Structure 1
Amino acid sequence: MKLTSIRATAVALLCALGASTAFAQPDNKLPAKPIRIIVPFSAGALTDIIARIYAEKLSPRLGQPVLVENRPGAGGVVASQLLLKAPADGTSILFVSSSHSVNQTLQSKLPYDTKRDFSGLALLASSPTVLVVNANHPAKNVKEFVAMAKSKPGEMSYGSAGIGAATHLAAEYFNQEAGIKMLHVPYKGVQEATAETVGGRLDASFPPVGLALPFTKSGQLRALGVTGMERSPMMPNVPTVHEQGIPNVDYSIWYALVMSSKTPKPVMEYLAREVRAVSAMPEVREKLLAQGLVPQKLELAEFDRFIAKDIDKMGQIVKSSGAAAE
């Protein structure tokens, strides 16, 4: 075979190989523009803190800026609608907490269907909440707190991150199991509710353990009980609500990333791999643990099944409590 013929054949083979590789390449590349993680609560909330941890590590891996955009309001509905109105090209991700599954039952006129319109990207972490009061509050434990609430129904107050927020349902769940009724004061973020508790303008709030920890360490807040079935390693001396005579209280807030269900599957698989790689970083794990969080690993279809079950579970709590969006 002549040299020119060999060269021509080689070139043809290389071209064919390049073409087949190009067509076989999954469509997992994102548009060349900043990626935003939309957070349904205000800056400083635990959702915001976790989102920024992941944004910082995802940016160099994806080769483009990953920005955090805070859009509080309506227990997460405002942020959810913003995501669904954005192009489903992988550049908009919604950071959610447990309220994502609560709203399906809580909101009678929800402008979307949670199971149909969203797809789970990755479950990142979970945390129990903790019942806290001002350091000068008369109640020294859960038993005393419940006794006070029963003596003046509807007068004692608690704050949350808004109607339908995970911290709202934590309190309503507690009310239900303790047989008490408290006045709900909604805020745009649980940190505001916690600050109002520090200031003595609220009787209580139910922040995640990590958010409450600095205030309990400084002596500004008193932790009465953790809502998980086990004591938190961050607060080993604080008994669970279960230990203090309310046996059925087992509540944790979960934190995750979801996307529009219209997002191409290869794009979601690509992003899930990158999120998984970030979650495996020792420094990320350490930061999550420092916030009182338990790292989790569900993603994609398995996470969708988790969300569907949680919608049913939280729906029962909402209906039993009588909670409703205003």
Structure 2
Amino acid sequence: MTRNFDASARHGIARVLFCIASLLPSMVPAQEYPVKPVQVIVSLPAGTGIDVLARTLAQAMDAKFGQRFLVVNRTGQGVMVAANALNTAQPDGYTIAFMPATLITVQLHREKQPPYNRNTFVPICQAFDNILFVTVAANSPFKDLQSMLAFAKANPGKLRYGTSGIASAPHLAGAELFQRSGVQLTDVPYAGEVAYLPHILSGQLEMGMISAYLVGAQKGLRPLAVFSKERQKAYPNLPTTAELGHPISTLAYGGLFIRSDAPAAIIARLDAACREVVNGTAYGDMADKQVVRATYLDRGAFTARIDADFANIGRLLDTLKLKD
């Protein structure tokens, strides 16, 4: 009898300990998150401007929290490989992603059966705006955007422009510009702007939608306009698409994302840390070197921007027949 009681007692104690252990992850936010390294998924290859910014942010988080924030590159299928990695991670706050907002604004429209939905992830904070330029070779006959558009109107489909893949931010920026202008150009998708840059320089492509970093770093290019509401400090004489009558908001922005079922206290702590880091000198200086705008928006404002673009891009993809 005593033996049976002892066995039953041990079993009961084990069950109690198991229940306590299962509650520990949810208790962490109220104590000292993070208590172990945090994985930061990045959807772009190592060495790219956004990857460098992600690593700068991770280092600042290391110092702030006293735990490692480890960048892990998950590239492929646009942002889908990275999005799937975040989707399948435990919702405990120890896996976050630093990536473009296109995982929501574009991919949910494009995929027939996406492995996640609009409510799977929440934006923690916006951390960057990548500026794009309509760019030609320096020896191109086109000296400004207006002359290029006039030629395109007179020669439908003759001009070709390089993009970083179908429905990428550069592709959609160019497609919306040309649609608004009533002209037809041929888009040529590549794996990334580095891949199609040589073809612009050689004349195989007449133009491309190129990031500010490459426009500044690569000799032999001539920007015709910048996708922005305001002129850029580095190019004070270069007009914006907005002032030329085409107020286009590109999708080349992003920040931190996390599973929506992660603890709310952890999301709040990460947002507060993101604000401090993105508005800090080290991150801002690195963004300047990458010619990327360090733009902080809190969760509410970032979500509102994504929601607005989600609706607008849905309509654009319909007109371009780009929904799968």
TM norm. shorter chain > 0.5: yes
CA–CA distance in structure 1, aligned partners of residues 317 and 258 of structure 2: 25
* Other-structure match for 2:269: 270
Per-residue deviation, 1:31 = 5.0
Does the 8 A contact of 1:133 with 1:205 survive in 2?
yes
Q: Distance in 1 between matches of 2:83 and 2:143?
A: 39
Residue 233 of structure 1 is matched in structure 2 by: 233
Structure 1 stretches of 4+ moved >6 Å: none
How far the C-alpha of 1:256 sits from its partner, in A, is 1.1
Aligned pairs (5 A) from 1:148-187 = 148-187=151-190
Instruction: Give secondary structure in 1 for the equivalent of 2:78.
Output: helix
SS in structure 2 at match of 1:74: coil
1:78-118 Cα shifts (integer Å, max 9, x gaps): 211111012222222222224231222233332221x2111
**Superposed CA offset, 1:102-161 (max 9, x none):** 222233332221x21111111112243110112222222112222333344334222222
TM-score by length of 2: 0.81
Tell me the amino acid that sits aligned with residue 94 of structure 1.
A
* Matching of residues 39-188 of structure 1 within 5 Å: 39-100=42-103, 101-113=105-117, 115-188=118-191
Amino acid at match of 2:312: K
Q: CA deviation at 1:224?
A: 0.7
CA–CA distance in structure 1, aligned partners of residues 88 and 153 of structure 2: 46
Q: Distance in 1 between matches of 2:198 and 2:142?
A: 18
CA RMSD in angstroms comes to 2.5
Q: Secondary structure at the match of 1:294?
A: coil
Query: What secondary structure does 2:79 align onto?
Result: helix
In the alignment of these two chains, the number of paired residues is 296
In 2, the alpha carbon distance for the partners of 1:195 and 1:87 equals: 42
- My pick for the range that moved more, 171-180 or 36-45, is 36-45
CA contact (8 A) 1:173 1:249 kept: no
Give, in whole Å, the separation in 1 of the partners of 2:62 and 2:223: 37
Q: Deviations over 1:56-87 (max 9, x none)?
A: 22222232332323323222122111110122
Identity, % of aligned positions: 26
User: Offset at 1:27?
Assistant: 5.0
Gaps of 5+ in 1: 1-22
Partner in structure 2 of residue 314 of structure 1:
313
Distance 2:185 2:281 in 1: 41
Partner of 2:298: 299
TM-score (norm 1): 0.81
Unaligned 5+ runs, structure 2: 1-26
Tell me which of 226, 234, 248 is aligned to 2:246: 248
Displacement of 1:38? 1.9
